[in-house]
Amino acid sequence: QSALTQPASVSGSPGQSITISCTGTSSDVGSYNLVSWYQQHPGKAPKLMIYEVSKRPSGVSNRFSGSKSGNTASLTISGLQAEDEADYYCCSYAGSSTFPHWVFGGGTKLTVL
């Protein structure tokens, strides 16, 4: 149950686009289209931003998009806004039919300059 690998921090200026990567293995990200992304502001609960690699829940801005290639998933935020500054976590299903389990990335702190 090893954690997925994310960059510790990324930054961008308002209006710019940034991408956060999430690298796993062929046992998790590479095998399942069950990658989710969560936004967490300080002292708050995580909020679902992307699920099943690239789907957006109702109410989430279309500035947020997700993709996957091989063992790496990515979250892209376009048109950066001040309120996007937060921690972002990826999560992937990593199990089998006999041992379902989930694994999170270590988190990425997004700073809007």
Residue 37 binds to another protein (criterion: CB under 8 A): no
CB 30 within 8 A of CB 41: no
Task: Identify the three-state secondary structure at position 57.
Answer: coil
List the alpha helices (DSSP H) in 5-111: none
Residue 52 binds to another protein (criterion: CB under 8 A): yes
- Name every residue whose Cβ is closer than 8 Å to that of residue 31 and which is 6 or more positions away in sequence: none
Binding to another protein by CB under 8 A, coded x per residue (else -) over 17-36, reads -----------------x-x
Chain contacts with another protein (rule: CB under 8 A): 1, 3, 34, 36, 38, 40, 44-48, 51-52, 57, 89, 91, 93, 95, 99-107
